Amino acid sequence: MNNSSLIVGLDIGTTNVKAVVADASSSQLKIIGAASVPTLGMDHGNIVDIDQTASAVATVLSSAEEKTNTKINRVVTAIPASMLQLESTSGVINIAQDSREINDADVQAVTAAALSAGVRSGREAIAFLPTKFRVDNEDKIIDPRKMIGMSLEVKGILVTAPKASLHNIKRAIERAGYTNNFFVAAPLAVANVALDEGEQTFGTILMDIGGGQSTATVIRDKKIVYASINNNGGVDITRDISIVLNSSLSEAEKVKTSFGIADPQMASESDEVPVNVVGKDSPDMISEKYLSEIINARLEEILEHLGSGLKNHHAFDLPGGIVITGGTSALPGIDQLIADTYQVNARIYTPDQMGLRDSKYATGYGIVNYAYDLHDIDFLVNSVLSANNLDEFNTEPNSTEPKQSNKFFKRLQSDNENDGKEAYNDAKLASKQKPEKQEKTKPEKTKKNKEKKGVKEFFKKFFD
């Protein structure tokens, strides 16, 4: 299969590396395969051995290539909530003494100004989410291009991560033989597929109970407004079982996944579970309820820690309740346990796509959908984020050419967007000169053909 239209989401977790491959060549995103392999070189969400992590990344992407009969070159990688910091920032630039039409280069320049003002020492921007643009005195503009003005301002939310951690992730991907296209904040990716419009707007808690850490992220107005992190997860539950039952880690993991139940009230006292104990020839038999109590003790600790921060931010009052993801969410009864603990509605999210019906693929599935749904303004912003030097986007006031990274390509604007901007410009010009009578023309068929061709070219240049 041609790789020019591939979008590949990479999720490097503590226990597993997951990859989801999608084909964006048609009008609708199509999932064509996924792969998961055990992770080495990770500890509670952080890379501790780049070579081992690179080996796991190479293995999972090679497996994905084999399953989908494709050649992967680039990936889009998730950054966990534990690494993220959010800052409000803004930037402003002068366009010209006399009003002129705002272009791509101006959007990139004002974005660079906002990033320069907001990025703190030791951190690196992974996303900038514009909340509004301002052209002269006109406020609350979503896309300022083709509007006329003398100054341009942007306000938004800057998402950053530790520079050292991002360096390690990039280096592991490079050593695996691939290139990272850009980063995506994992909670935003998951929210894109796990939450409906109302849940994203009015407020929902995304709770990711993974292998090495657990996070609770509050999504409201389609943005991250708060995150609570606990550095415990499925790995710690496995270690607890191993210590209490005197079994190996591999045996403890097998017992947890085969017989574990999150809520002891759902477990049976009479049903017994065989456990291979170190130093014994025959397995010990323990009750299902006892195993559940071991698991529950760690889960209760995690939920108590996450819950204290959520309570302080009144997150339990949000109408969306809690949506649970992560590999540990596969434990039976975990949704009821969380609902009872916090006295809110709770449900587990699992992708409904064929081949992805496992909660561990939620982030990878979210990544490819998030990347596919990005607007052309987002691509311009990402082109600035991908640059090594923000100064290259500080263009001259009369520059008309955008400075783009070759990793990014603009989507075409819809006719509705252009109509609104033309109306705005007409109003601006009317205040300066008498309007001339013009006849509105319909777009030609050749223009439509160019637009269709442009969309195809976008996928070729942006993703591979």
Domain containing residue 304: CATH number: 3.30.420.40
Flag whether pLDDT at 416 surpasses 90: no
Q: Among residues 42, 39, 32, which one has the least CA distance to residue 9? A: 32
Q: Give residue 1's Cα distance to chain centre.
A: 26
Give a yes or no: residue 27 inside a domain: no
Q: Cβ(171)–Cβ(194) under 8 Å?
A: no
The residue ranking higher by pLDDT, 436 or 137, is: 137
For 6-61, the pLDDT digits (tens) are: 999 999 999 999 999 999 888 889 999 999 999 989 988 899 999 999 999 999 99
Give a yes or no: residue 380 inside a domain: no
pLDDT the model gives residue 30: 93
Give a yes or no: residue 356 inside a domain: no
Distance of alpha carbon 15 from alpha carbon 60, whole angstroms: 13
Distance of alpha carbon 315 from alpha carbon 309, whole angstroms: 9
Give a yes or no: residue 121 inside a domain: no
For 68-79, the pLDDT digits (tens) are: 999 999 999 999
Flag whether pLDDT at 412 surpasses 90: no
Give a yes or no: residue 56 inside a domain: no
pLDDT the model gives residue 404: 45
Flag whether pLDDT at 425 surpasses 70: no
Distance of alpha carbon 273 from alpha carbon 257, whole angstroms: 12
Q: Among residues 345, 347, 369, 343, which one has the least CA distance to residue 356? A: 369
Give a yes or no: residue 336 inside a domain: yes
pLDDT the model gives residue 452: 39
- Cα dihedral 206, 216, 77, 116 in deg (nearest 10): 110
Give a yes or no: residue 266 inside a domain: yes
Q: Give the model's confidence band at 413: pLDDT under 50 very low, under 70 low, under 90 confident, else very high.
A: very low
For 162-214, the pLDDT digits (tens) are: 999 999 999 999 999 999 989 999 999 999 999 999 999 999 999 999 988 99
Q: Cβ(176)–Cβ(54) under 8 Å?
A: yes
pLDDT the model gives residue 438: 41
Q: Count structural domains, the chain.
A: 1
Distance of alpha carbon 106 from alpha carbon 99, whole angstroms: 13
Give a yes or no: residue 216 inside a domain: yes
Domain that holds residue 328: 196-349
Rounded to two decimals, the pTM is 0.81
